[in-house]
Structure 1
């Protein structure tokens, strides 16, 4: 099974999702990430957080959704619901779900507040991915339910 995690810049939330999923997924499952307007670089805080959690980031890079190496069975958007944020919609006959998470890279504040935002995004995404991996489903209602897990973390 191939899963595509989409976000606008493909530098933070979709990267976190790709790395967490590939870390937890059983053999034969693979996640990739992409963006509608990729930044061309990965967020250094996201990379450091993943490394701190013992999750490999080797081979990951910011890429466009126009040049995917595989055809996904499931596309999950992880962009948050902040006003005015562009959230790409993957076109094609594929199941889609929205697991919106606020972008921790936009948080302004103390070092502790910024780190807390990254930790929260990580916890939310990991909770959702763990739920999916524990009971993989391509049922739209269940995918939508999983997309609400971890809120309030």
Structure 2
């Protein structure tokens, strides 16, 4: 029996850093069990080069990453999501579009690396911290026995990841 591949959409505001890093990480850490996507409520129009720098060692194709609106994933014909996770506190407070298929939703508060640092080294360090915070969340997420948990228990576990790692 072929194992289900879960679609996971990570949401931010600008879709330039945290959500993009999460898209790449879940896709590479999930051993083929997860397909990552990312979007923003107010897309920046480009992925931050420091986010791409963090993603590069994962082997995820940088050409597949772009800053895009969350409206793409609410439109007819968009892939159905199993999980939608906000990684930005501002996006978590916004009114989201209707998501077809009733995916499980959760919020994982990750500090915005673009808001830190006056020097290039400080900014790079902030992106590094955000990348590893996302990776810590995803280490737990990708190890959940998704096929064994009923929907309510699964929702509780995914939400708890955001409260456990701060």
TM-score, normalization by structure 2? 0.79
Give, in angstroms, the shift of residue 30 of structure 1. Answer: 0.5
Which residue does the alignment assign to 2:59?
55
- Structure 1 residue runs of 4+, over 6 Å off? none
2:42 is equivalent to residue 33 of structure 1: no
Give, in angstroms, the shift of residue 149 of structure 1. Answer: 4.1
The structure with the greater share of residues assigned to helix is 2
TM-score, normalization by structure 1? 0.85
Larger Rg: 2
Whole-angstrom CA distance in 2 between matches of 1:122 and 1:90: 27
SS at match of 1:67: helix
Which residue does the alignment assign to 1:7?
12
1:2-151 mapped onto 2 (5 Å cutoff): 2-51=7-56, 53-56=57-60, 57-68=62-73, 69-80=78-89, 85-87=90-92, 88=94, 89-92=96-99, 93-137=102-146, 139-151=154-166
Whether the 8 Å contact between 1:20 and 1:55 is mirrored in structure 2 is: no
Give, in angstroms, the shift of residue 90 of structure 1. Answer: 4.7
The number of aligned residues is: 146
Give, in angstroms, the shift of residue 109 of structure 1. Answer: 2.5
Give, in angstroms, the shift of residue 136 of structure 1. Answer: 4.3
Whole-angstrom CA distance in 1 between matches of 2:133 and 2:97: 22
Give, in angstroms, the shift of residue 28 of structure 1. Answer: 4.5
Whether the 8 Å contact between 2:83 and 2:104 is mirrored in structure 1 is: yes
Give, in angstroms, the shift of residue 126 of structure 1. Answer: 0.3
Whole-angstrom CA distance in 2 between matches of 1:72 and 1:104: 26
